[in-house]
Amino acid sequence: MDWLEEELKQALARKEPDPGFDARVQRRVSRRPAAPRWLAAAAAVLVIAGGGAIYRRHQGEQAKQQVMLAMKIAGSKLNEAQARIQAIGERQ
């Protein structure tokens, strides 16, 4: 057998934890203080407010683009009319 394969087999071999490992983990978990409820509520409010602000900004940017496009279209058509009037005036 290849030495590398042997090394890997040993390194990855299943090992049983020390006795009392489970109890130690349980103890440590129970010692950890639970996050207060107000913190969870505040986080939720922040997420909702942030999401609302992002959505509002997106809506605003969209409205801005539409306003600019509308101005471009209306402006170009008015200029067309002006150009034609001017061309007729020049011909006369």
Partner 1 sequence: MKLIVAGCALAAVLFAQQFKFNLDHLAKKSSDTVDLSLDANLIQLGAAFLNTKDPDQAKAKKLVAGLQGLYIKSFEFKRDGEYSPADLDQIRAQLKAPEWARMVNVSNSEDRESVEVWVRTENGKMSGVAILAAEPRNLTVVNLVGSIELSSLSDLGGNFGIPKIPKKK
Q: Give residue for tokens 């107000």.
A: 38
Six-digit token string for 12: 């990855």
Among positive and negative, which fits the CA dihedral 59, 62, 66, 68?
positive
Residue 82 engages partner 1 in binding (rule: CB under 8 A):
yes
Least Cβ distance, residue 91 to partner 1 (angstroms): 12
Measured from the CB atom, the residue of 26 and 65 that comes closer to partner 1 is: 65
51 vs 60 by CB, closer to partner 1 = 60
Strands (E), the chain: none
Smallest separation, CB 65 to partner 1 (Å): 8
Q: Which of 38, 45, 59, 91 binds partner 1 (CB under 8 A)?
A: 59
